[in-house]
């Protein structure tokens, strides 16, 4: 789950407070994070969830899954349409 917390300023740097301590620090971006890592998130690991700060409001793996699913769906649609066009042209010749 990626959450954009309440906006604030800490030592002159714009931060977002993580709800319930959801980040590796109570705010994002942390001291070592780039300024674009503003979402509080957790990553699953074998030992449990690891809190972190993320760049996107949804997990990167979810974005990759959406892109792959869209590509596979487009290929499937192309296959179905070409099959229908071929069958239609065979019937009407």
Residue 54 pairs with which residues in a beta bridge?
39
Residues 11-55 pLDDT 10s: 888 888 887 755 567 888 888 889 898 888 877 777 877 788 888
Domain ranges of the chain: 6-54, 59-93
What's this model's pTM, rounded to 2 decimal places?
A: 0.57
All residues at 6 or more sequence positions from 1 whose CB lies less than 8 Å from its CB, including other chains = 22, 41, 42
């Amino acid at each position: 789950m990626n959450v954009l917390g309440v906006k604030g300023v800490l030592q002159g740097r714009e931060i977002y407070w993580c709800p319930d301590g959801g980040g590796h620090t109570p705010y994002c971006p942390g001291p070592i994070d780039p300024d674009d890592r503003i979402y509080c998130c957790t990553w699953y690991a074998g030992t449990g969830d690891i809190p972190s700060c993320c760049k996107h409001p949804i997990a990167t793996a979810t974005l990759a899954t959406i892109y792959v699913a869209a590509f596979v769906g487009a290929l499937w649609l192309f296959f179905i349409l070409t099959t229908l066009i071929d069958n239609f042209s065979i019937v009407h010749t």
